[in-house]
Chains A and B, each alone.
Chain A
């Protein structure tokens, strides 16, 4: 615990220290000072935090209490298994993103951006996240939630000269606060119903209605942060707008806070640790819908960062499916499903933090090098930036659940959890779980297509435009945090059994599942499965290396000839006839375009030989366009209608005051 408190202290103090350069006159020195201060603060704080998480010989539940200095609420912190697991990406990814941010912000012009402010809010975000994940008091939780929600607004708004960026940060702020409203209602009701401010003792004295209401409010509030459909719309706006190291942190660590909230709420509200069955089904369905929607929308995108944002939505859906499956297992007494589901949820959370952090950072480097992340304008970058390409390819393979990497392990655990649905009692349940299993596999099949497209269009082939030709190159020591993350993807894949055992332990702390049938069997056989998977994956890597060496050896004497790509006899191919991202997904879009929401518009001159023709493929978010847009427009028009009272004539304002006073007097006397 002392390390943990030290980490909190360092975050807070260095945030304060960053105020100094932010108030100085913008110059090269002040920007450099801010950069160094921010990096050092994050470095020291995160290392302390990681030490606090992994220092051997700690009690399983470390806690700390102090007075907050407010009329209610205490400064009460605790670290249990779940908090620790959720904190790993915060510190780990926070650290790596800060380093990458430091490396890329070095070249910003001080007159354009106030780096002091940027690092201040970066550190505040880390502080807020750490507090949210360890707070054990409602008031403290809400305060830190607010810090955590507010800081990203300023981080997203980094390039505030661009109106689209400002727009995106407003969308984020509105979404975050609508979620916060639900959470405020949730906590007030929670306090009213239980009479306690503690956020760690399970609640027992609730009626059925109160419990249901609390659950729904928590799902709305935390779900908005996690990006569950239909509350996901801020993600595809905010992630492309934010600087890449920020989107990596938001996507890899911050949205997990929503999931953490849902898990914690369910475990506290469940009577005797057994959630009602329909909660599990609701969460499973919500997760399934989110995942399907996310992957289909991602397929239709051509902006890499927007694609990654939708894919975050999808992955959040997969984690939620794991939670839902675990809750169903828990409520029906199936230990296999409960353990595997929750462990899969937590494993996938960790894995997602690694590969999504990697992919966002890599996309940021692409943006930095070329000036665009539009796939239709990129291509051929692998030749110019081989290290970056290798990192991105690793991330793609990992997120597409391909075996040597970590994405597969979470998928395996979740799939086995869902498959055990066929040993539940009634046919309807069996069918539902088996169909969700098939849907999960469909999602990961589509993910393979999606990431083959993302990698292929950005890095392979030849350059599609001047953006990709005139590349601003960077040597490997400008991107070494990416290499760390890429290695992490491989390491987490090969050491998955330890991750499983750790997350399994945390899962068993959250819900009393040790006594359920199938629990110990699940632990041993999944452990064994993951070990075997790692062994086989290792063999595959070795054997491939061997085969490649063999081929190289045989070709050594014969030599390799280089000839242009065979274009079936056509000699004058240019990069303009290369396949683009939209054409790559066209066969799928033929089947799925009503679901993907893809709109294709062709404009062409009439006649047999049209000189001018244009084809536009777009995939706007229908939910935003047809639901939220009109909704907010309606609210705005109502608010505008109220403007007739605000006309700026002071004597009439005094009349309002007089009328109010008189009215109140009359009301009081009658």
Chain B
């Protein structure tokens, strides 16, 4: 038990350390595909260090919550990450229904950022906030539909309630065992989670993280008025969020391999980052009207898996 706990802690530390590297990998992949050399891999770390050393410029329209929100979001995402099984080790906090807590903690962070954006009174940030709210509200049922497939699968496999309702089992390697043993429909789930990753982390077909100040933006435009340490907290939080969703994909793909499984796990997470880079360099951003179609596609896939795995 003790060794498991320490290996979980080690994995958590690894996640906290390596998360900003994901952005570096994505950018490097995009640069290579475009034939450029690209930013340094560690650019996000430099950005974070620089931002932490700065002071802040704040709009007088905003209130206290504007200054609180980035910290709240970071802590909420961190707590959600602590509920995930990392590197194949069950989380020490695991309990029945922790997936719900994790999802709503992410929701808490989102609520904080939306409210902070509305506090500035700018129509740009209102626009970003309203889009963020709308798309994440539409993404919510897809996430839970996919989760419900996994829970029912594990209840059918004879797991206890406590365990089957916990992220630590659902994404801890046993699900990969299930598709390896012939339930191929489950292979659609990593795709669903990948699409959710693109939505929730504001990546390209939904949102473009590289262009500022466009009317089409979602996430970037929400944080226009943040600066200095607060912006650093936001940047780090979004890195952790990316790690969270990439671990969901990894948790479904990597089977339970014992102690050394975490290497494969981290490799998959970085592969996901590469995949994001490839998607971003091969696709254009969708028109906002089409984002709902995109979400509808993800929802259809999740429903397809549900039908297949439930009805057989």
Q: Which B residues are CB-close (under 8 A) to A24?
A: none
Per-residue interface assignment for chain A, residues 414 to 430, with 1 indicating a CB less than 8 Å from any chain B CB and 0 otherwise: 01100110110001001
Chain A residue nearest to B71 (CB atoms) is A547
| Cα-based distance from A427 to B229 in the complex (angstroms) | 52
Known: A461-B120, A462-B61, A551-B229. A438 touches B145 (CB 8 A): yes
Whether A456 lies near B115 (C-beta < 8 A) is yes
Asked if B209 CB lies within 8 Å of chain A CBs, one says: no
Asked if A590 CB lies within 8 Å of chain B CBs, one says: yes
Of the listed stretches B39-47, B128-136, B264-272, B276-284, name the one at the interface; the rest are far from the partner chain: B128-136
| Cα-based distance from A310 to B136 in the complex (angstroms) | 22
Of the listed stretches B2-10, B94-102, B191-199, name the one at the interface; the rest are far from the partner chain: B94-102
Whether B131 lies near A587 (C-beta < 8 A) is yes
Asked if A536 CB lies within 8 Å of chain B CBs, one says: yes
Whether A415 lies near B97 (C-beta < 8 A) is yes
Whether A444 lies near B140 (C-beta < 8 A) is yes
Whether B105 lies near A403 (C-beta < 8 A) is yes
Most B CB within 10 A of own CB, among A444, A528, A590: A444
Whether A554 lies near B229 (C-beta < 8 A) is yes
| Cα-based distance from A37 to B131 in the complex (angstroms) | 51
Asked if B58 CB lies within 8 Å of chain A CBs, one says: yes
Whether B137 lies near A588 (C-beta < 8 A) is yes
Whether A448 lies near B93 (C-beta < 8 A) is no
Of the listed stretches B27-35, B74-82, B200-208, B241-249, name the one at the interface; the rest are far from the partner chain: B74-82
Of the listed stretches B18-26, B147-155, B179-187, B254-262, name the one at the interface; the rest are far from the partner chain: B147-155
Q: Which B residues are CB-close (under 8 A) to A294?
A: none
Whether B123 lies near A434 (C-beta < 8 A) is no
Per-residue interface assignment for chain A, residues 25 to 68, with 1 indicating a CB less than 8 Å from any chain B CB and 0 otherwise: 00000000000000000000000000000000000000000000
Asked if B85 CB lies within 8 Å of chain A CBs, one says: no
Q: Which of A404, A408, A521, A536 contacts B161 (CB 8 A)?
A: A521
Q: Which B residues are CB-close (under 8 A) to A554?
A: 52, 229
Whether B161 lies near A518 (C-beta < 8 A) is yes
Q: Which A residues are CB-close (under 8 A) to B68?
A: 544, 548
Known: A382-B63, A400-B111, A544-B75. A561 touches B121 (CB 8 A): no
Whether B130 lies near A585 (C-beta < 8 A) is yes
Most B CB within 10 A of own CB, among A441, A543, A590: A441
Q: Which of B52, B59, B110, B118 contacts A456 (CB 8 A)?
A: B118
Q: Which B residues are CB-close (under 8 A) to A621?
A: none
Q: Which of A452, A560, A586 contacts B118 (CB 8 A)?
A: A452
Whether B93 lies near A586 (C-beta < 8 A) is no
| Cα-based distance from A554 to B103 in the complex (angstroms) | 31
The residues of B with any CB-CB pair to A shorter than 8 Å are: 52, 54-65, 67-68, 71-72, 74-76, 78-79, 83, 93, 95-98, 100-101, 103-105, 107-108, 110-111, 114-115, 118-127, 129-131, 133-141, 143-145, 148, 151-152, 155-156, 160-162, 165, 213, 224-225, 228-230, 233, 288-289, 292, 306-307, 310-311
| Cross-chain pairs A/B with CB under 8 angstroms, 15 sampled | A393-B65, A415-B97, A422-B148, A434-B310, A442-B140, A442-B141, A446-B137, A452-B115, A521-B160, A526-B97, A551-B230, A566-B59, A566-B225, A579-B118, A583-B127
Beyond A427-B311, A540-B108, A579-B126, 7 additional contacts (C-beta under 8 Å) are: A402-B111, A419-B148, A430-B152, A441-B140, A536-B93, A564-B60, A577-B123
The residues of A with any CB-CB pair to B shorter than 8 Å are: 336, 379-380, 382-383, 386, 389, 393, 397, 400-404, 408, 411-412, 415-416, 419-420, 422-423, 427, 430-431, 434, 437-439, 441-442, 444-446, 448-449, 452-453, 455-457, 460-462, 518, 521-522, 525-526, 528-529, 532-533, 536, 539-540, 543-544, 547-548, 551, 554-555, 558-568, 573, 575, 577-579, 583-588, 590-591
